Amino acid sequence: MGQINIIATSAFGLEACVKREAIKLGFKNIHTFDGRVEFTGNEEDIIKANLWMRCASKILIKIGEFKAVTFDELFEGAKALNWGDWITVDGKFTVTGKCVKSILMSVSDCQAIVKKAVVEKLKSKYNVPWFDETGADYTIQVSILKDIATLTIDTSGSGLHKRGYREIALEAPIKETMAAAMVELSFWNKDRILFDPMCGSGTILIEAAMIARNIAPGINRKFACEDWERIDSKLWKQARVEAYKAIDYNVMPKLYGSDIDGDAISIAIENAEKAGVDDCIQFSVLPLQKAKLMGDYGCLISNPPYGERLGELKQVEDLYKSLGNLMRTNSTWSTYIITSMEYFEKLFGRKADVKRKLFNAQIKVDYYQFYGPRPPKDWGKTE
C-alpha cells in the first residue's frame, strides 16, 4: 500500500525534540510544523514511534488533507479517502475534532459530517448496509486549521506520556513527555550527576534513568493499534523483544531526588520501582534549604511550584531565592528550571543562558537553562 504518512504530535515548543527523536529512529521525509512532526514509514515504523518516542504526545496516521470551506466540501473530501485501508468491517470508530481560524467552526457538526462520510465510504467498500462496530477501536480526528482539513487516525490510544509506571501521582505532576524533554534539552548525560531537589513523584529522575538505560518509554503499556488487523501482532512481539534486549542494566547513573513532602517521596519510590529504575535513584525527604550539591559538574533539573495559587507566592519566591543560593555553592553545576514565574531570573540571581518558551499542560512556562563550565576531557576517568 506504499508509504504511510505519520504524524508525531507534541506540546508547543517541543517540536525540535520530537524531530531529533525521529531522526535518531531513522524515519524518512521529516518535516516540522507547529505542534507536530511528520514523516513517512511503514507499519513497523508506527510501532517503533509508539514504543520509542519519549517527547511526542501521540502517533497519528495521516489519511488525507484538503481545503474545506463548506460542509459539502468536508463531506466529499472525507468520503474520497481510503478509510478501508485501516478500518475493518467490524471496526468501532469515533470522530473527534478541532477547528481553528477557519470558516467551519462548529466542531460537533464537522465530527458528524466526517462520521457520515466514513460510514458511506465503508459501506461502499464492504457492501454492507450497516456496521456492528464490535471490533477494534479507531479514533478519527478532523482538524481544520485555516480552512485546511487534516484527517487522521490515532494509533496510540491514551497519550504517550502514560508510560504505565505512574499510577499514583501528585495533584499537579509534570507529564512524562515534558520531563523527558527537559532532560533531553539539557547537557546532562549518564556520566554526570543529576539532582532534583523538588522532585515530587520523581518523574524527571525516572525519565532520566530510562534514557540512561535505554529503556523504551512505551515498553510496558498497550496501544490502540495493537488490535488492528492491518498491523501484524508478530511485529509487535518482535519489537518488544528487541526493546527488552536493548536495555542496559549495567548503566548506573547517579540520580538524586529530594522533597519536603514525605508522601511525595513514597510515591516517587513506588513509581521508580514500577519503572524498573529504583536501584539507580536515591530519594530523601529534605527541604530545599538543607539540600547540598554532591560532586562536580552535575545538573540540577527541576519543576518547582509556580506560585499559581493564592497565598503561595511569597513561599515560592523564597524557594527560588534558596535555589539560587544553593547553586552558588558550586559553580561547576548547570541548572535547568521550568516555571511560569516571569521574574524567576531576578529571584534566582542570574540571567539564563537560554530561555525556551513551552506549555506545561495549559500553563505558559519558560524553561530556564543556566550553564556551568564544560567538564575537563579527563574528568570522567578520574571520577
The pLDDT value recorded for residue 57 is: 97
Task: Tell me, yes or no, whether 163 lies in a domain.
Answer: no
Tens-place pLDDT, residues 304-324: 998 777 568 899 999 999 999
The pLDDT value recorded for residue 224 is 97
Residue 242 in this model has a pLDDT that exceeds 80: yes
Given a cut of 80, is residue 20 above it in pLDDT?
yes
pLDDT at 381 over 60: no
Q: Which residues contact 194 (CB under 8 A, 6 or more apart)?
A: 183, 188, 205, 208, 253, 254, 255, 256, 298, 299, 300, 301
Torsion sign over Cα 186, 161, 239, 274 = positive
Q: How far apart are alpha carbons 335 and 168 in whole angstroms? A: 28
Residue 240 has pLDDT above 80, yes or no: yes
Q: Tell me, yes or no, whether 67 and 98 share the same domain.
A: yes
| pLDDT single digits (tens) 248-305 | 999 999 999 999 999 999 999 999 999 999 999 999 999 999 999 999 999 999 999 9
Q: Please report whether residue 267 resides in a domain.
A: yes
Domain that holds residue 183: 176-216+226-382
The string of pLDDT tens digits covering residues 91-103 is 999 999 999 999 9
Q: Per the domain annotation, does 62 fall within a domain?
A: yes
pLDDT of residue 2: 75
Q: What is the pLDDT of residues 63-84, one digit of tens each?
A: 999 999 999 999 999 999 999 9
Task: Give the pLDDT of residue 311.
Answer: 66
Count of structural domains, the chain: 2
Are both 375 and 233 inside the same structural domain?
Answer: yes
Residues 142 and 181 in one domain: no
| Same domain flag for 368 and 309 | yes
Q: Edge-to-edge, what's the strand order for the sheet holding 255-259?
A: 281-285, 255-259, 194-196, 299-302, 334-339, 363-370, 354-360
pLDDT band, residue 382 (cuts 50/70/90):
very low
Residue 166 lies in a domain: no
Nearest of 370, 302, 308, 315 to residue 342 by alpha carbon: 308
Grid cell in block for residue 233 = 501482532
All residues at 6 or more sequence positions from 69 whose CB lies less than 8 Å from its CB, including other chains: 102, 103, 104, 147
Q: Is residue 169 part of a domain?
A: no
| Residue 131 pLDDT | 84
CATH number of the domain at 205, please. 3.40.50.150
pLDDT at position 383, please?
A: 46
pLDDT in tens, 119-144: 999 999 999 888 888 899 999 999 99
24 lies in the same domain as 138: yes
Instruction: Look at residue 279 and tell me if it is in a domain.
Output: yes
141 & 197 share domain: no
Q: What is the spatial distance between Cα 266 and Cα 264, in angstroms, rounded to a whole number? A: 5
State the average pLDDT over residues 329-344. Answer: 96
pLDDT in tens, 195-233: 999 999 999 999 999 999 999 999 999 999 999 999 999
Q: Are 198 and 271 members of one domain?
A: yes
**Average pLDDT estimate for 143-161:** 97
Sheet holding 148-154, edge to edge: 28-33, 36-41, 4-9, 58-67, 148-154, 137-145, 92-100
Mean pLDDT of 92-119: 96
CATH of the domain at 63: 3.30.2130.30
Element (H, E) at 366: strand 363-370
User: 357 vs 2, which has greater pLDDT?
Assistant: 357
Question: Is 142 in the same domain as 211?
Answer: no
Place of cell 460537533: 108
Same domain? 92 vs 61: yes
Q: Do residue 138 and residue 184 come from a single domain?
A: no
Examine residue 330 and state whether it is found in any structural domain, yes or no: yes
Is residue 154 pLDDT above 70, yes or no?
A: yes
Percentage of the chain exceeding pLDDT 70: 97
- pLDDT for 331 beyond 50: yes
Does residue 93 sit in the same domain as residue 142?
A: yes
Average pLDDT, the chain: 94
Q: Reply yes or no on whether the pLDDT at 170 is more than 70.
A: no
* Residue 210 and residue 124 share a domain: no
